[in-house]
Chain A
């Protein structure tokens, strides 16, 4: 190794920070090279100066003051932190509030779900069982005396086949039933040879748009009987309570 290479290693050589091989090489070179030995001496002296670089002796009062200031600052910072935390705490979502809100939402959702489930089966029953009589009693079928059916009726089937006269009965049980689906009204057919066939092709038949004469909250059954006369513009509709005289009136058909 030449002097230039050795000179690069000298700063670490004086503190023995070189690896063994490099240190041995530098030692051998310094022993034979006065210039490099002088440089190594300079490094050693500057290092000695550094090691003597002691700070002035600070008195115990200086240290005590430092410690006091530290505790004072810790106290003031903790107070400031506690006040700011207190203020921020009101705006911070708390666990208990979050849990209570979640519980409330869950109860609401469950309540809505249960209410929805209570109404749905009733509707389904009504839709799926249009022919059921609610009170389970036998329906009363009224027979109408036979009459002449020679005149075709516009409500008759288009093929012109004379069929038995059909009488439709509606059972209105409660006032509330009017608002329900028409398929819950029971439509009964009685054979009446003199009556014109009155099929479901008529928009007036089998619907619940007619007013229900039964009083509100009255559980008395009312029979409704419709008879299509030869005149297509005349239809006889009978409303009758059970065990009472039937009330009749005429109405013009469609």
Chain B
């Protein structure tokens, strides 16, 4: 079962959080997800493809996202990922975890 939120390591699953956040806007294929993350982070997060697809596979296995084959704008077959209800819930939790941690760090650094 889920451990209490405070005890979880805040940085695990950051990539998953970013992916879920991306998917929460609209279903997307892997490349689009990577692009989206890179663009929004001003190129700070360059998602290594080697970690992107295993992360997506993990999301599928946890049931936080589903995948189906669809047609991409270029006309090629692409695998589109869609966030599930469980995924949204998870995202919410992760974001609030993250907020708490970010807030905590900010306070320690004397910026809050």
A and B co-occur in one complex: no
Residues of chain B at the chain A interface (Cβ within 8 Å):
none
